[in-house]
Copies of this chain bind each other. A is one copy, B any other.
Amino acid sequence: MNQLEQSFSVPFTYTVSFTEHLFASDNTLFRDWLTQSARRSGTQLTRKLLFVIDSGVLAAHPTLPANIQTYFADVPGLRVVDEPMVVPGGELAKNSPELVDQLIDAVDRYGIDRHSYIAAIGGGAVLDLVGYAAAIAHRGVRHIRIPTTVLSQNDSGVGVKNGVNWGGKKNFVGTFAPPVAVFNDAAFLGTLDDRDWRSGISEAIKVALIKDRPFFEWLDTNADALANRDAEAMSYLVYRCAQLHMQHIAGGDPFEMGSARPLDFGHWAAHKLEYLTDFSVRHGEAVAIGIALDTVYSQLAGRITATDADRVLSVLQRLGFDLFHPALAENGGENLRRGLTEFQEHLGGELTITLLDALGQGVEVHEMDTALIQQAIEKLENTLMHNAH
Q: Which residues of A contact B (CB under 8 A)?
A: 1-19, 41, 43-45, 104-105, 108, 111, 113-116, 135-141, 158, 161, 163, 166-167, 169, 171-178, 236, 239, 242-243, 246, 249-250, 254-259, 345-350
Contacts and interface: CB of A to CB of B under 8 A. Distances in A.
A139 B116 contact: no
B163 A250 contact: no
Nearest to A242: B4
A139 B17 contact: no
Given A10-B9, A105-B167, A349 B259 contact: no
B6 A18 contact: no
A134 to B, nearest CB: 11
Nearest to A173: B136
A254 B171 CA distance: 26
B139 A258 contact: no
A161 B43 CA distance: 25
Given A5-B15, A161-B139, A249-B8, A348 B175 contact: no
Contact of A349 (B2, B18, B113, B350): B113
A175 B135 contact: yes
Number of copies: 2
Given A10-B10, A169-B108, A172-B108, A349 B41 contact: yes
A349 B6 contact: no
B17 A6 contact: no
Contacts of A45: 349-350
Contacts of A105: 167
Contacts of A15: 3-6
A262 to B, nearest CB: 16
A94 B10 CA distance: 27
23 contacts: A1-B236, A1-B239, A3-B16, A4-B18, A4-B242, A4-B243, A4-B246, A6-B158, A6-B246, A6-B249, A43-B350, A44-B350, A104-B166, A104-B173, A105-B167, A113-B348, A114-B348, A137-B173, A138-B172, A138-B348, A139-B256, A141-B348, A175-B177
A315 B137 CA distance: 38
A349 B43 contact: yes
A258 B169 CA distance: 35
A114 B349 contact: yes
